[in-house]
Amino acid sequence: MHTLLVTADGSHTVRSHQFNECYHSERGAVMESQHVFIEAGLRQLKKSRLAVFEVGFGTGLNALLTMLEAEKTNQHVYFESVDPYPLDLATAAALNYPDILGVDRHRFMELHQHEWNTPVVVTPHFTLYKVKRSLLDYSLQRSFDVVYFDAFSPETQPELWTAEVFSRIYSSLSSSSLLTTYSSKGIVKQNLRAAGFTVQRLAGAGGKRHMLRGAKNEELHF
Ligand SMILES: C[S@@+](CC[C@H](N)C(=O)[O-])C[C@H]1O[C@@H](n2cnc3c(N)ncnc32)[C@H](O)[C@@H]1O
């Protein structure tokens, strides 16, 4: 069961009763996704084709922002996202992201309505592959350039933030790649490092002190 809430930038988030946690920061859902995943992640790689792996499809906000960004920059993005608990369509239909972002609601709902477990070419710039599986028993089958690590917090889902999980992700990353996450917990930083990432602490979203970014290639300097 889910409840919709309005965050500080006017955009909705969802509270999960199963996990007793919100999907986004109360400081602003759109603001946070834009800052942590688009700005600190996607925008840092200037490749014309790139592959994004997301942990937690949830509201589809990161997918929507990525699709819009790919159209703006004329990039081709392959977007793979795992989530064992897809949001029900009625809740997705009530989200105000299309209004906030000035996007046709149909385009947003399409992301939710597309079939799970099969890749779909949504636009010439954006291919979506949603997989209804837990990250814990998912093996990544291709090389990725950007990872949006957007699971519930390490306190709520400690099993997803381990060095072992990060190592599995690390080994399927391309030579110049990034993982971004809203969390700045010490244990997350430690486990990312143990997995091989070069870790940076960046300013967090909306005045939050920090977020983390892991890079695979030490030649990447930001
Ligand atoms: C913090 S929410 C963020 C979701 C999404 N990125 C968004 O912006 O709405 C975390 C998401 O992780 C999903 N999740 C929970 N357990 C998971 C698991 N074991 N593997 C992958 N995703 C999981 C939840 O269903 C939820 O959609």
pLDDT digit string, tens, across residues 10-62: 999 999 999 999 999 999 999 999 999 999 999 999 899 999 999 999 999 99
Task: For ligand 1, say whether the CB of 23 is within 6 Å of any of its atoms.
Answer: yes
Q: Do the Cβ atoms of 145 and 174 come closer than 8 Å?
A: yes
Q: Which atom of ligand 1 is nearest to the CA of 148?
A: 6
pLDDT digit string, tens, across residues 183-215: 999 999 999 999 999 999 999 988 888 999 999
Q: Which atom of ligand 1 is nearest to the CA of 22?
A: 1
Rounded Cα–Cα distance for residues 7 and 32 (Å): 10
Task: For ligand 1, say whether the CB of 152 is within 6 Å of any of its atoms.
Answer: yes
SS3 119: coil
Output the pLDDT for position 2: 87
What is the phi/psi pair of residue 2, to 5°?
-130, 150
Output the pLDDT for position 69: 98
- Domain 26-215, second-level architecture: 3-Layer(aba) Sandwich (3.40)
Q: What is the largest CA-CA distance in the chain?
A: 45
Q: Which of 151, 174, 175 is nearest to 161 (CA)?
A: 151
- The CA distances from residue 163 to 51, 105, 159, 167, 193, in Å, are 22, 39, 10, 6, 8
Q: Which atom of ligand 1 is nearest to the CA of 33?
A: 8
Q: Which of 182, 70, 53 is nearest to 130 (CA)?
A: 53
pLDDT for 131 beyond 90: yes
Question: Residues 6 or more apart from 39 whose CB is under 8 A from it?
Answer: none
Burial profile 125-152: b = 16 or more Cβ within 10 angstroms, e = fewer: bbbbbbbeeebeebebeeebbbbbbbbb
Rounded Cα–Cα distance for residues 22 and 5 (Å): 9
Task: For ligand 1, say whether the CB of 55 is within 6 Å of any of its atoms.
Answer: yes
In the structure encoding, which two tokens stand for residue 140, read together? 């990544």
Q: What is the mean pLDDT of the chain?
A: 96
Q: Do the Cβ atoms of 170 and 140 come closer than 8 Å?
A: no
pTM above 0.85, yes or no: yes
Q: Do the Cβ atoms of 199 and 183 come closer than 8 Å?
A: no
Amino acid at 19: F
Nearest CA residue ID for atom 24, ligand 1:
56
pLDDT digit string, tens, across residues 157-186: 999 999 999 999 999 999 999 999 999 999
Strand partners, 82: 55, 131
Q: Which of 99, 104, 124, 70 is nearest to 12 (CA)?
A: 99
pLDDT digit string, tens, across residues 66-107: 999 999 999 999 999 999 999 999 999 999 999 999 999 999
